[in-house]
Amino acid sequence: MSRFWKWFWGIAIGGPIAVFVVWALASNERLFLVTLLNGLTLASLYFIVAAGFTLVFGLMRNVNLAHGSLYILGGYLGYVVAEQTGFWLVALAAGFLVAAIVGLAMQVSIFRFMQGEDLRQTMVTIGLSIVIADLLLWTFGGQVHQLSPPAWLDGPLRGIPVINAYSKYRLALLPLGIAIGVLLWLFLNRTRVGMLIRAGVDDRGMLSASGVNVNLVFAITFAIGAGLAGFGGVIGAVELSMVPGEDVRLLLASLVVVIVGGMGSVVGAAIGAAILGVAETFGLAYAPTYSVVFTFVILVLVLAFRPRGILGRPA
Amino acid sequence: MSAAQWRKAMNAGAAAQGWPRQRRAASAPAGAARAEAPAPYADQDAPRWLKWIWERVAARHVFVLAFVLVYPLVATPFFTFQIGAQSLALGLIALSLTFLSGYGGMISLAQMTVAGIAGYMVAILGVSGTAEISLGWPWWVVVPLAIAIATVCGTLIGWLSVRTEGIYTIMITLAIGVAFHYLALQNYSVFNGFQGLQKVYAPTVLGVNWGEPLPFYFLALACALGGYFLVQYLVRTPFGIALQGVRDNPRRMNALGFNVTAHRVAAYAVAGFIAAVGGVLFVWYNSLITPGSIGTSWLINILIIAVLGGMRHPIGPFLGAIVFVLLQNFAIDVFARERFNLVIGGVFLAIVLFSPDGLLGLWAAFRARFANADARSRISPPRPSGRT
Beta bridge partners of A160: A164
Min distance A114 CA to chain B CA atoms (Å): 9
Residue A131 sits at the vertex; the CA angle it makes with A130 and A133, to the nearest 5 degrees, is 65
With beta carbons under 8 A apart, name residues in chain B contacting A291: 186
Min distance A210 CA to chain B CA atoms (Å): 25
Q: Mind listing the pLDDT tens digit for each residue in B91-146?
A: 999 999 889 888 888 888 888 999 999 988 888 887 777 777 777 778 788 889 88
Contacts with B, A 228-257, CB within 8 Å: 248, 252, 255-256
Q: Mind listing the pLDDT tens digit for each residue in A89-146?
A: 888 888 899 999 998 898 888 887 877 777 788 888 888 888 888 888 888 877 787 7
With beta carbons under 8 A apart, name residues in chain A contacting B164: 303, 307
Give the N- to C-terminal CA distance of chain A in Å, as an integer.
Answer: 22
Among all residues of chain A, which has the CA nearest to that of B175?
A252
With beta carbons under 8 A apart, name residues in chain B contacting A246: none
Percent of chain B with pLDDT over 70: 81
Q: Which among A127, A134, A291 has CB closest to B339?
A: A134
Contact A63 B167 (CB under 8 A): yes
With beta carbons under 8 A apart, name residues in chain B contacting A288: 186
Min distance A37 CA to chain B CA atoms (Å): 24
Contact A301/B at CB under 8 A? no
pLDDT band at B2 (very low <50, low <70, confident <90, very high): very low
* pLDDT the model gives residue B140: 82
With beta carbons under 8 A apart, name residues in chain B contacting A110: 353
Report which secondary-structure segment, H or E, holds B23: helix B20-27
Q: Which among B187, B189, B348 has CB closest to A127?
A: B348
Min distance B351 CA to chain A CA atoms (Å): 9
With beta carbons under 8 A apart, name residues in chain B contacting A63: 167, 170-171
Q: Mind listing the pLDDT tens digit for each residue in B35-86?
A: 444 555 555 666 777 777 777 777 777 777 877 777 777 777 777 777 888 8
pTM of the predicted structure, to 2 decimals: 0.76
Mutate to test the interface with B, among A59, A109, A119, A263 (most CBs of B within 10 A): A119
Full set of structural domains in chain B with CATH: 75-378 (1.10.3470)
Q: Helix H segments across B211-357?
A: 213-234, 238-248, 250-255, 260-286, 296-309, 316-326, 332-334, 340-354
Report yes or no: A311 and A272 within 8 Å, Cβ to Cβ: no
Min distance B191 CA to chain A CA atoms (Å): 12
Contact B339/A at CB under 8 A? yes
With beta carbons under 8 A apart, name residues in chain A contacting B341: 130-131, 133-134, 137
Q: Mind listing the pLDDT tens digit for each residue in A234-291?
A: 888 887 777 777 888 888 888 888 888 877 778 888 888 988 888 888 888 877 767 7
Residue B180, pLDDT > 70, answer: yes
Q: Which among B307, B352, B387 has CB closest to A118?
A: B387
| Structure-model confidence comparison of residues A59 and B235, the more confident one | B235
Q: Which among A138, A255, A296 has CB closest to B339?
A: A138
Among all residues of chain B, which has the CA nearest to that of A247?
B296
Contact A263/B at CB under 8 A? yes
With beta carbons under 8 A apart, name residues in chain A contacting B178: 248, 252
Instruction: Name the average pLDDT for chain A.
Output: 82
Contact B275/A at CB under 8 A? no
With beta carbons under 8 A apart, name residues in chain B contacting A138: 339, 342
* pLDDT the model gives residue B12: 46
Q: Which among B107, B163, B386 has CB closest to A303?
A: B163
How buried is residue B42: exposed, middle or buried, by Cβ count under 10 Å (0-12/13-18/19+)? exposed
Contact A37/B at CB under 8 A? no
Contact B171 A255 (CB under 8 A): yes
Contact A133 B183 (CB under 8 A): no
Q: Where are the beta strands (DSSP E) in B143-245?
A: 204-205, 208-209
Full set of structural domains in chain A with CATH: 31-305 (1.10.3470)
**B20-27 vs B48-56: helix axis angle to the nearest 10?**
140
Residue A32 C-alpha from the chain's centroid: 24
Q: Which among A119, A259, A263 has CB closest to B107?
A: A119
* pLDDT the model gives residue B151: 92
